[in-house]
Structure 1
Amino acid sequence: MIQRLTCFTGSTPGNDPKWLEVAHDVGVVLAERGIGVVYGGGGGGLMGALADGALSRGGEVIGVIPTFMIDREWGREDLTELHVVESMHERKALMAELTSAFLALPGGMGTLEEIFEVWTWRQIGLLDKPVGFLDADGFWTPLLDALRGLGEQGFVSSASLAEIVVASDLDTALAGLEARESSARMLRPTAPDTHG
């Protein structure tokens, strides 16, 4: 069972109001399922809509934001927890520590950078938490097609592509992430029994 989900998404609303609805609805559903939201702590765009959705149903919402963004008044203080860190590197490391899995919602450069970094960490063994894309209305399809093209050229392994959860709806995304999280948990070494 996923206890907390880190959602990477846009800090701006985009050009189509449906993306705000997608982010808000994700927050609502996660809260209703008792899954905490971990996100970048922003108050605007899809990030704000995600937080609003979860908070509207009494969900846990944990924001992680660097100091320079607070200085620019990009954060919000009505969250369950707000962690203020010194750098983007600390931000991503703490988000990874606090979560069970990662999901990319619609977004731009920051969203891409974040989801690719945790996917890379997974590939090189720095974490074993599942990673996915919410491909709502085909938002990520062009990117995913490009990644398959990289695979055909030998730059992304078929195993790497196969392990990523891709789903057009949140229910399917959560099921895929939970299945991979359960598999990873079964493979993790247990602490030795020192009580003999």
Structure 2
Amino acid sequence: MKRLAVYCGSATPADPRYVELARDVGAALAKQGIGVVYGGGRLGLMGAIASAAMAEGGEVIGVIPEALVGGQGRGGEVANYDCELTIVKTMHERKAAFTDLSDGFLVLPGGVGTMDELWEAVSWAQLGYHSKPVGVLNTFGFYDGLLAFNRHMAEVGFVRPAHQGIIMAETELAPLLERMRTYEPIVPIVRMDPTLL
């Protein structure tokens, strides 16, 4: 894995563990020679992971939509010009760039935008638009509920058995990266026997 798209929040939670986690991940990826492709902002967990990776000499590529460059409104991300920054027109272009530039997806704690990115990565894997690993770093039990819901969808029958291993989750980075490195791509829906769908 030369580069990972890292999905995480642009917010800074009151609990300092989240920003510390992002810094630790950014530094660890850089030390392992894994580049970071991320949302291009300098705030919150996004900014923390980028600055930590760059401080260790790591490659950091930011991809940000025009509307968020200047931090319009109170929730603006404000572009990080310290990294290699690509400015795109839409969120769709941003997510396509994440997929094109990376060898996998690493999900840290985040909010609605992070969930959008996670589920798109999973959906695109199911459909065969990519065959890259999707790893969820479930530190502090942040994603316990999401993982339980994913199991529930599978138990009810909305996630095919062949696709139940797309999301790989670990509480620590090292075992998660190892699982991602050895990921065996699933058989996408488009290549499945139609009689089994």
With structure 1 as the length reference, what TM-score do the two structures score? 0.89
Aligned to 2:78: 74
Work out the CA distance in 2 between the residues paired with 1:93 and 1:152. Answer: 30
Of 109, 123, 131, the match for 1:128: 131
Aligned to 1:169: 172
User: Is there any run of 5+ residues in structure 1 with no aligned partner, and where?
Assistant: 185-196
Deviation of 1:15 (Å): 2.9
After superposition, the C-alpha distances for 1:124-145 in whole angstroms (9 at most, x for unaligned) are: 0111111110011211111100
Question: Comparing 67-76 with 43-52, which one deviates more in the overlay?
Answer: 67-76
Work out the CA distance in 2 between the residues paired with 1:39 and 1:7. Answer: 5
Aligned to 2:149: 146
Aligned to 1:57: 56
Assess if the C-alpha contact under 8 Å between 2:40 and 2:46 holds in 1.
yes
Q: Which amino acid aligns with 2:82?
A: D
Aligned to 2:37: 38
Q: Which amino acid aligns with 2:89?
A: E
Percent of pairs with identical residues? 45
What is the root-mean-square deviation in Å for CA atoms of aligned residues? 1.1
User: Is there any run of 5+ residues in structure 2 with no aligned partner, and where?
Assistant: 72-76, 186-197
Work out the CA distance in 2 between the residues paired with 1:126 and 1:178. Answer: 19
Of 104, 112, 127, the match for 1:101: 104
